Amino acid sequence: MIYAAITAALAAGDRLRHAFGSELAATEHTAHDVKLVADKECQDLIYGILLQHHPDSACLGEEGDIGKPGAPIEWIVDPIDGTMNLAHNIPHFCVSIAARDAATQKIVLGVIYDPMRDELFTAVRGSGAWLNGQPIQVSRRDKLSDAVVAVGFAKSQDSIDHCLKLYAVYGNQAKKLRAMGSAALDLAYVAAGRLDAYIEQGVNLWDIAAGWVLVEEAGGVMEIEQKIKGKYKVCASSGRIDYPLK
Ligand code: IPD
């Protein structure tokens, strides 16, 4: 299955790398979000590749679901995570693909591909996590005062209000606070030990599914709470920080 996920992520990433820098058509603008034609195009490309390799699976994604109801494997896809960055020609976005075992509801593998840096993060439950084929581990820093913490800015007003409160806390107490605009890459960076923690309220499953298994397989801790249906509060870290992250 990992082969199909990597093939799909590289194909979509290649398309996004070529599209980067051009005027990208939007299908929808809301107060704190944009949807691009490329979102749907990349999702169709990814679904096609996944279903070609695994016709018995189902695909759930930001731009809609397809596939067999009751399928044993569910792909959870964010074709572009960091859409606002891409729309503004900021080269920090990725493709995120996870596979979930329908019976246990456990994420069994995750692939996150950053096409601008050609960085491929992969993890298989029980086997480890890698960046471009090299094993990765979460950071060993244990003091919040030494930590670089990413706080994601979600889209709804209540999650933005919550985030602003976190800014006051982590802006003052962490070594440095970051808001980079891609939840999936934030999780991949926690897995790789680049970030010490990532916190966000109001994310969707497709934003975090692949990163979830990456962080855990790299030795980290994911605290996930479903605040309202389909919207999650996430706190990812090494589990070593000397401060209750929330
Ligand atoms: C968004 C990004 C962003 C996060 C939002 C997500 P999208 O995903 O991951 O960093 O703060 O909560 O919805 O819309 O670019 O796929």
Structure tokens at 91: 């080269």
d(CA 57, CA 134): 29
Is the pLDDT reported for residue 153 higher than 90?
no
Per cent of the chain over pLDDT 70 is 100
Task: Report the pLDDT value the prediction gives residue 242, as an integer from 0 to 100.
Answer: 84
Among residues 135, 161, 194, the one where a domain terminates is 135
Q: How many domains does the chain have?
A: 2
Same domain, 131 and 149: no
Q: Does ligand 1 lie within 6 Å of residue 85's CB atom?
A: no
Same domain, 29 and 121: yes
Kindly report which listed range (88-102, 115-129, 225-239) carries the lowest average pLDDT score. Answer: 225-239
Same domain, 67 and 174: no
Task: Report the pLDDT value the prediction gives residue 31, as an integer from 0 to 100.
Answer: 78
Q: Does ligand 1 lie within 6 Å of residue 81's CB atom?
A: yes
Higher-pLDDT residue of 38, 8: 8
Same domain, 127 and 162: no
Task: Report the pLDDT value the prediction gives residue 110, as an integer from 0 to 100.
Answer: 98
Structure tokens at 73: 């494997």
Same domain, 129 and 149: no
Is the pLDDT reported for residue 19 higher than 80?
yes
d(CA 63, CA 79): 8
d(CA 198, CA 166): 11
Asked whether residue 208 is domain-assigned, the answer is yes
Among residues 135, 159, 187, the one where a domain terminates is 135
Is the pLDDT reported for residue 118 higher than 80?
yes
* CATH number for the domain that contains residue 148: 3.40.190.80
Distance (Å) from CA 152 to ligand 1 centroid: 8
Is the pLDDT reported for residue 244 higher than 90?
no
Same domain, 9 and 126: yes
- CA-39 nearest atom, ligand 1: 16
Same domain, 22 and 123: yes
Which amino acid would we find at residue 51?
A: L
d(CA 16, CA 114): 10
Task: Report the pLDDT value the prediction gives residue 17, as an integer from 0 to 100.
Answer: 98
Same domain, 78 and 152: no
Same domain, 33 and 131: yes
Q: Does ligand 1 lie within 6 Å of residue 115's CB atom?
A: no
Same domain, 125 and 24: yes
Dump pLDDT digits (tens) for 132-149.
999 999 999 999 999 999
Q: What is the DSSP letter of 22?
A: S
Q: Does ligand 1 lie within 6 Å of residue 96's CB atom?
A: no
Same domain, 181 and 101: no
d(CA 73, CA 16): 26
Distance (Å) from CA 188 to ligand 1 centroid: 14
Across the range 204-214, mean pLDDT stands at 97
Asked whether residue 244 is domain-assigned, the answer is no
Q: Does ligand 1 lie within 6 Å of residue 152's CB atom?
A: yes
Question: In which region does residue 105 sit, left (phi positive, over 0), alpha (psi from -120 to 50) or beta (all else)?
Answer: left
Provide the domain limits for residue 175. Answer: 144-237
Tracing tokens 């990456």 back to the chain, one arrives at: 214
Task: Report the pLDDT value the prediction gives residue 156, as an integer from 0 to 100.
Answer: 83
Dump pLDDT digits (tens) for 30-56.
878 888 888 999 999 999 999 999 999
Asked whether residue 62 is domain-assigned, the answer is yes
Is the pLDDT reported for residue 190 higher than 90?
yes
Task: Report the pLDDT value the prediction gives residue 246, as an integer from 0 to 100.
Answer: 75
Q: Does ligand 1 lie within 6 Å of residue 216's CB atom?
A: no
